[in-house]
């Protein structure tokens, strides 16, 4: 997510507010959809960026209305019917609504890109690939760490603790719903930090054990 995108959309909304109004509080109506691709708009709503930019331009009172639609078709219909002023969606939806309004006084055009879908897809692929690789290789790593006499018990405990995490994780995630976005990103890094520290401790303990009992290194 880039700050430039937030500023462009907020500025475009404020420009719309600068249009003459008949002795009433300026109003701007925006639409968003359900997905992480529209996180920028959630940040705009949460931090009231439109209101802040409007106040900086001398508009103290602004009525900002946010609506959530389930799909680009609904947003296009709302734009064409005048129910909203600014919508959000992908390129196909923009082309459709532009072709319908082209040449009219209310011709609809794009303002700014919200996100980079190729980067998002690549990041998602890498995250899934690496997680699956860790889940597959953890059993082999456990077999290298534990001596033969404890290998079965050690691997069993290892998998059991992992199952506890898979149960506690979704429950903890449900409790975090409604938190500020910046807090969610901050706390989501905590499990990775704990895992990294745990792996380092296990590595050091294993190296100490092998230094004390060199014959175990040959067994591994």
- What is the distance between the alpha carbons of residues 49 and 8, in angstroms, rounded to a whole number? 11
Secondary element (H or E) of residue 32: strand 27-33
Whether the pLDDT of residue 162 is over 70: the answer is yes
What percent of the chain is modeled with pLDDT above 70? 82
* DSSP character at residue 85: S
Residue 184, CA atoms < 13 Å, CB-side half-sphere? 12
Identify the pLDDT of residue 219: 57
> What's 177's DSSP letter?
T
Q: At residue 75, does pLDDT exceed 70? A: yes
Average pLDDT, the chain: 78
Helix, strand, or coil (residue 142): helix
Residue with tokens 């009219």: 104
Q: Helix, strand or coil for residue 200?
A: helix
| 99-120 residue pLDDT tens | 888 888 888 888 877 766 667 6
Buried b (16+ CB within 10 A) or exposed e, 149-172: eeeeeebeebeeeeeeeeeeeeee
CATH number of 3-101: 3.40.190
Q: Hey, what's the torsion of the CAs at 115, 120, 122, 124, to 10 degrees?
A: 180
User: Cα–Cα distances in Å, from 181 out to 41, 46, 132, 149, 188?
Assistant: 12, 9, 27, 47, 11
Q: Which alpha helices (H) appear in the chain, and where do they start and end?
A: 3-17, 39-47, 49-56, 72-81, 91-101, 117-145, 151-175, 181-188, 190-212, 214-219
pLDDT attached to residue 4: 52
pLDDT at 118 (0 to 100): 67
Which two tokens mark 145? 């760490």
User: Is residue 22 over pLDDT 50?
Assistant: no
Cβ partners under 8 Å of residue 177, min gap 6: none
Least confident of 44-48, 52-56, 145-149, 214-218: 214-218
List the one residue out of 126, 136, 116 whose CA is nearest residue 39.
116
Domain boundaries of the chain, sorted by first residue: 3-101, 117-219
């Amino acid at each position: 997510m880039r700050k430039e995108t937030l500023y462009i959309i907020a500025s475009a909304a404020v420009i719309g507010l600068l249009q003459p109004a008949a002795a009433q509080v300026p109003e701007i109506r925006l639409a968003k959809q359900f997905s992480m691709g529209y996180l920028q708009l959630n940040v705009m709503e949460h931090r009231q960026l439109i209101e802040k930019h409007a106040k900086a331009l001398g508009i103290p009172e602004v009525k900002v209305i946010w609506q959530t639609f389930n799909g680009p078709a609904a947003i296009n219909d709302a734009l064409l019917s005048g129910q909203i002023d600014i919508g959000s969606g992908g390129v196909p939806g923009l082309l459709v609504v532009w072709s319908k309004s082209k040449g009219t006084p209310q011709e609809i055009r794009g303002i700014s890109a919200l996100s980079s879908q190729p980067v998002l897809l690549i990041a998602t692929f890498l995250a899934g690939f690496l997680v699956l690789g860790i889940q597959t290789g953890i059993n082999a790593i456990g077999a290298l760490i534990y001596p033969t006499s404890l290998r079965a018990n050690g691997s069993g405990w290892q998998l059991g603790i992992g199952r506890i995490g898979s149960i506690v994780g979704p429950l903890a995630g449900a409790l975090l719903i409604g938190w500020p976005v910046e807090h969610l990103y901050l706390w989501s890094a905590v499990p990775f930090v704990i895992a990294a520290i745990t792996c380092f401790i296990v590595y050091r303990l294993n190296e100490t054990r092998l230094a004390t009992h060199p014959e175990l290194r040959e067994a591994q």
